[in-house]
Chains A and B, each alone.
Chain A
Amino acid sequence: DGGITQSPKYLFRKEGQNVTLSCEQNLNHDAMYWYRQDPGQGLRLIYYSQIVNDFQKGDIAEGYSVSREKKESFPLTVTSAQKNPTAFYLCASKLGTNTEAFFGQGTRLTVV
């Protein structure tokens, strides 16, 4: 079955550590996205990528980094520079600008 998979579902990070969230899709979609969700703030765009080896900053990119070496994969690294990383992270992919996005089940990151 085609879909988008995020892992892990829950992730705990110590202060000062970098962590990487995985996002894989087998839908052959060109575009992929990372969103952060905090209570009462909806979905805020962190990074997005329209094609392999290219990506753009979203509205809250500081403290995050991404790569797009393969069409199927768009991992997100939460660096130690991100001061408040505890949140729910959602990955999505789209075929084109006029199509709906497909979402993964999310990763809940907690700093301990």
Chain B
Amino acid sequence: AQKVTQAQTEISVVEKEDVTLDCVYETRDTTYYLFWYKQPPSGELVFLIRRNSFDEQNEISGRYSWNFQKSTSSFNFTITASQVVDSAVYFCALSRSPSGTYKYIFGTGTRLKVLA
């Protein structure tokens, strides 16, 4: 069975603080894909990053960085020097291998509040 767990329901930080959003996943597949999305107050989900199960390199994009560790089944997301515009709900998602179904599973999301 597939499952994505985002244990942090809500996080509040003060602007310029660093913050890490946790994502733990479960799957029996050897090939799978992990994603992060941002949902601003408008409601539409915005894609942030995709990572496949064979690529454990960390990635940095501006103030955003992602740490993928297969040993702990985690795909954590860090925002450095947070800004008020980062306030949103963030979702982690899991997709199966190309030979599997197209089922696409999301975690429950983490609401990030960045205070000025």
A residues adjacent to B (C-beta < 8 A): 30-31, 33, 35, 40-45, 48, 50, 56, 58, 88, 90, 92, 94, 96-106
Contacts and interface: CB of A to CB of B under 8 A. Distances in A.
B106 A103 contact: no
Interface of B: 6, 9, 33, 35, 37, 42-45, 47, 50, 52, 91, 93, 95-98, 100-109
Contact of B33 (A40, A88, A98, A106): A98
Contact of B103 (A43, A58, A103, A104): A58
Contact of A42 (B44, B91, B100): B91
A33 B35 CA distance: 16
Given A40-B9, A42-B109, A43-B106, A56 B45 contact: no
Given A42-B108, A43-B91, A105-B43, A98 B102 contact: no
Contacts of A104: 44
A100 B9 CA distance: 24
A100 B44 contact: no
A40 B2 CA distance: 20
B47 A101 contact: yes
B35 A97 contact: no
Nearest to A4: B44
27 contacts: A30-B102, A31-B102, A31-B104, A43-B106, A43-B109, A45-B105, A48-B103, A56-B101, A92-B104, A94-B102, A96-B98, A97-B33, A97-B95, A97-B98, A97-B102, A98-B33, A98-B50, A98-B52, A99-B50, A100-B35, A101-B47, A101-B93, A103-B37, A103-B44, A103-B45, A104-B44, A106-B43
